[in-house]
Amino acid sequence: MQVLQTKKEILKMDKKKYAVPALEKGLLICELLADSDQPLGITEINAICGLPKSSVFSIMTTLENMDYVEKLPDDKYKLTLKINNLGTKILTKLDVRQVSRPIMEELAEHLRFTVHLAILEKDKSLYVEKVNGPGFVQFSTAVGQSWPIYISAGGKVLAAYLPSEQLSEILKPCTFEAYTPNTIRSKEALMENLHTVRENGYAFEDEEGEIGIRCIAAPVYDKAGTVIASLGVTALRNELPVHKLDEIGRFVRSKALTISAKLGYVPHEAEPTKQKK
């Protein structure tokens, strides 16, 4: 109760200039529920926080509508696992770079290609890690650089495993600007390409973002089976010939699955075509 009392006093402190009181109260209630050994009702929350019952009711209704709390038959509330899931996703995204780095270095050394790790950032593929290959040619890509999802191999991987509704929303404003003559120019062509990505378990970019450059990427899964990143290699066209595409694609996919396993993912028989529901 000492912790709860301390948190109650937070509401009595002067609000910072840009604080949002309603949000502050909602988060405080979430913390109270997390600290409590038992579910709490509106009257109990009112007594602990000193908030008006009407405010507590509105906040709890909002939290319930957003699935952050569950209302029990006795009209008391408990937290759901949604907050825990948010934290897990954040930790996974932070861990994926650290887990991936040694494997990326092995991949770069073995294939002598540049290796990228990318995540989905709104409607783009964003590089979050890079390992240069040992070859003479070095690419000017950098961590923080992003590409439209329809252009890069990594972007195609991230798009291929999105729920259909989310992908549709991302593609609504897409104009499919041509970066090269090989760039995908329509939603229909992209959807056909993404179907192939899911069948093969990897994506191929054939001079679609820059003439003379080819890329292959494969999905990285978290422990829940959700694609959270793409592992990709970038090379000059003559270093990545079409007749070696499947061999290298499978190899990159195997390394992506190694990373996934370190993140807790257990592959299923239908792994190459697995999509989020």
Q: Number of folded domains in the chain?
A: 2
Residues 120, 245 within the same domain: yes
pLDDT tens-place string over residues 156-167: 999 999 999 999
pLDDT tens-place string over residues 173-227: 999 999 999 999 999 999 999 999 999 999 999 999 999 999 999 999 998 899 9
Q: What is the pLDDT of residue 276?
A: 43
Residues 54, 136 within the same domain: no
Which of 44, 60, 79 marks a domain boundary? 79
Which of 27, 55, 79 marks a domain boundary? 79
Please write down the HEC assignment for all residues of the chain: CHHHHHHHHHCCCCCCCCCCHHHHHHHHHHHHHHHCCCCECHHHHHHHHCCCHHHHHHHHHHHHHCCCEEECCCCCEEECCHHHHHHHHHHHHHHHHHHHHHHHHHHHHHHCCEEEEEEEECCEEEEEEEECCCCCCCCCCCCCCEEECCCCHHHHHHHHCCCHHHHHHHHCCCCCCCCCCCCCCCHHHHHHHHHHHHHHCCEEEECCCCCCEEEEEEEEECCCCCEEEEEEEEEEHHHCCHHHHHHHHHHHHHHHHHHHHHCCCCCCCCHHHCCCC
Cross-strand bridge partners of residue 231: 117, 218
For position 200, which CATH number holds?
Answer: 3.30.450.40
Residues 106, 23 within the same domain: no
Expressed as residue numbers, the domain containing 73 is: 19-79
- Are 42 and 58 spatial neighbours (Cβ–Cβ below 8 Å)? no
pLDDT tens-place string over residues 37-73: 999 999 999 999 888 999 999 999 999 999 999 999 9
Residues 60, 159 within the same domain: no
Residues 41, 131 within the same domain: no
Q: What is the pTM of this model?
A: 0.66
Tell me if 277 is assigned to some domain.
Answer: no
Residues 152, 71 within the same domain: no
pLDDT category, 277, cuts 50, 70, 90? very low
CA atoms within 13 A of residue 145's CA, in its CB half-sphere = 12
Residues 109, 243 within the same domain: yes
The distance of Cα 109 from the centroid of its chain, to the nearest Å, equals 27
For position 55, which CATH number holds?
Answer: 1.10.10.10
Tell me if 113 is assigned to some domain.
Answer: yes
Residues 63, 173 within the same domain: no
Residues 183, 230 within the same domain: yes
Name the nearest CA neighbour of 127 among 135, 136, 139, 137. 139
Tell me if 203 is assigned to some domain.
Answer: yes
Tell me if 65 is assigned to some domain.
Answer: yes
Between residues 256 and 89, the one the model is more confident about? 256
Tell me if 105 is assigned to some domain.
Answer: yes
Residues 75, 91 within the same domain: no
Cross-strand bridge partners of residue 118: 127, 230
CA-angle at 206, arms to 200 and 211, nearest 5°: 165
Tell me if 187 is assigned to some domain.
Answer: yes
Tell me if 163 is assigned to some domain.
Answer: yes
Instruction: Return the residue matching tokens 């699935």.
Output: 67
Which of 79, 94, 115 marks a domain boundary? 79
Residues 65, 123 within the same domain: no
Residues 147, 238 within the same domain: yes
Tell me if 272 is assigned to some domain.
Answer: no
